[in-house]
Amino acid sequence: MEIEIAKISDLKPHPKNPRIHPDSALERLAISIKEFGWTNPILVSQEGYVLAGHARLKAAEQAGISEVPIIRLPLKGAKAEAYMIADNRTAELTEWSFPDLKNLLQELDTGAFDIEITGFDLKEIEDLVTQFHVEEDNSEGVISGKSNKCPKCGYEW
């Protein structure tokens, strides 16, 4: 597979793409692209339809980018459409380790850059920090046996 540079105007969003990209998500993605550059090529079928990267494509347009990296996959028809679904679905099947995420966000929040480039806004970060506070039992130097649960997703640790 080779990475090519393509004009956005030459790319065709797949007409059967079942994913919805709210403006708020596109805005965050555009910020990420501006901050970190292009890190993930758009995947295109043999017929020239976008299979993965619809949101990156829209965010690039919003950011005023005219050319993007792409990879042409050797897929077409039903197999290309199945891949389009699988690419989105498999990402949904992962989970956050909220305590680890909280710790990493706190570590990164030094003021050296805008922490919101992580895709989390300040309210979400504040919620993570307060919801995933683990009390320590100083008498034994270990985390207490108290059960912790995220009120939003039900994640327990």
Structural domains in the chain (count): 2
pLDDT higher than threshold 80 for residue 7: yes
**Residue 23 located in a structural domain:** yes
Highest average pLDDT, of 71-80, 109-118, 132-141, comes from: 71-80
3-state helix, strand, coil in the chain (%, to 5): 45, 15, 40
Shared domain for 84 and 103, answered yes or no, is: no
Shared domain for 35 and 75, answered yes or no, is: yes
Which residue would you say has higher pLDDT here, 66 or 140? 66
- Predicted local distance difference test score (pLDDT) of residue 148: 56
What is the domain extent for residue 109? 98-143
Give pTM, 2 decimals. Answer: 0.75
Residue with tokens 């909220």: 98
CA 108 from centre of chain = 18
**Residue 157 located in a structural domain:** no
What is d(CA 39, CA 69) in angstroms, rounded to the nearest whole number? 9
Half-sphere exposure (Cβ direction) of 130: Cα atoms closer than 13 Å: 8
The CATH number of residue 82's host domain is 3.90.1530.10
pLDDT higher than threshold 70 for residue 154: no
Mean pLDDT (whole number) for 22-32:
92
| Structure tokens belonging to residue 97 | 């380790």
